[in-house]
Structure 1
Amino acid sequence: METDHSEEIINRLAFLQDRFESQEGYTIKAKAEEVLEGIGFKTSDLEKPLRTFSGGWRMRVMLAKLLLEKPSLLMLDEPTNHLDLPSIQWVENYLKTYEGAVVVVSHDQTFLDNCISSTVEVASQTLTLYPGNYSFYKEEKVERMEIQQNAYENQQQMIKQTEKFIERFRAKATKSNQVQSRIKALDRMDKVHEVVNDEVSVNFKFKFSQKSGRDVVILDQVSKAYGDLVILKNTTARIERGDKIALIGANGGEKSRVALAKTLISEANFLLLDEPTNHLDFQSVKF
């Protein structure tokens, strides 16, 4: 006699459907598309194989994967390196409402100001917490350094006075108790360290052996395309000596510090820099 398993199968199916729904199985594709388009992908890009994209765009895919996983602790290392401005703004808004904790390592000061609620400084083998964004940290650090330096100078003055007293009355028997008391006080003293400014600046000087003419580059009805991807079409532009021009838009590009250093010492009178700050720290960016 055959056993009717139809009810058991239906219950099992209902259980699996509930589980699939609870894990966002029905909405994950739409959410993935929302995240990918938010960080710069076109709708037509979503069906393309990952191998067809450049390294920068692949990094965006990895970022999207992390955001979709929604871990309780999201750790991002330079998340804005390969993003254009609209994509950065999208990530900022996403992180503002992120339910879990977020730890970000970044040199993008505007991004940090817009996203974070506390800052941890790593300096002198110590972690120091500042309860605010990057701008707050900069202001608060200056105040803390001033307080610490004043405390250090006051303590140093007191130490010198105490040492003078010890040297002056060390040989006097009538002052031996006071001398010993001051010696013990110095040994027990919690020393205030002098402020050490570890923000070493990086200085570059651009040199060129031959001065360019007034017109460095003239574009007249210039077009450029990579297959079906049109970069320029009938473009006219003029770059004069001394111009500083930023190209803003989607890109997939990455330059190392070595390549940047090589460029800086080349003595060229016309520089084209692609995301030169991507892998620099704050001090290097400021040059």
Structure 2
Amino acid sequence: MPSQHLAARAAEESAAAQRAEHLAAEHEGQAGEQQHHLEAPVTPGGALAAEAYDVLSRAGGWTQRAREEAERQVAAERHAVSTRRVLDRIEQSAQKGRIALRLAGTSRKETAALTAQYQQQYLAAVDEAQRASRASAHALRQGWQALTGYQHASLLMQGGALIPPRDVPAMETVLEAMQQRVPVLAARLDTRIAEDIQQLRESCGAQRTVAARHRANVVAMQQEHTLREEMQAAAPLRHAREADERATAVQGRQVQTPPGQATRAPSPSPRHPAPTEPRAQLPRP
């Protein structure tokens, strides 16, 4: 290889070594940062679990309020039915004659007063049942919004489907299932970060090996260049003849190489294994 080609090749090898060393340092830094997260008092999985439990707690509070209002609705509806029965009996008694009312120990005036009293109770019970129904539905919606507003809600849902619950029992079933998935999801996140760290470290080692190979090539080429200089100083005529022979050989190979084919194999370029990102469904730390 002519001296000018040798110098160019040494420069290419040196640049390739620098690129590999840069990638190794970058991967080493990323691995160290991830390791720091795993060794923190609260790991990324632990932080995710704490956030998820807070969301579930707020949703659970709304669900409890929805249940209480639903119970009030049921109680009010029962009271309305009971009051309606009494009111029906009073209205039937009012249809009787004056003599029958006296025999029963009541008068038309007392009957009217009882009718008004129970009518008021009946209407109040109906109003309370309607109010409680609206309040329960509102609390249920608020609880669902608290869940769906969480950025990782789909990860906690079975199958990832966000389907609004029909009633309070359905909402409680959803919350229970999500509670059970939180520790699983947290452990999975920490595991995948550990896998990323391992891959980054393996990539770092591979890039350092590549860099070392390129550095060794540079040293060999520098030694060759030094040897040629020594030979030139010791026997300049012989060195010039050998240089001409090498140049002629290179020109001959270039002439014999068919058009469109490379005259020289490309220098090895460092691989850059990309670290595996945590799966799309998991958050980054």
Same fold (TM over 0.5): no
- The structure whose RCO (Cα within 8 Å, separation 6+) is larger is 2
Q: Based on CA coordinates, which of the two structures has the bigger radius of gyration?
A: 2
| Structure number having the greater helix percentage | 2
- TM-score scaled to structure 2, two decimals? 0.29
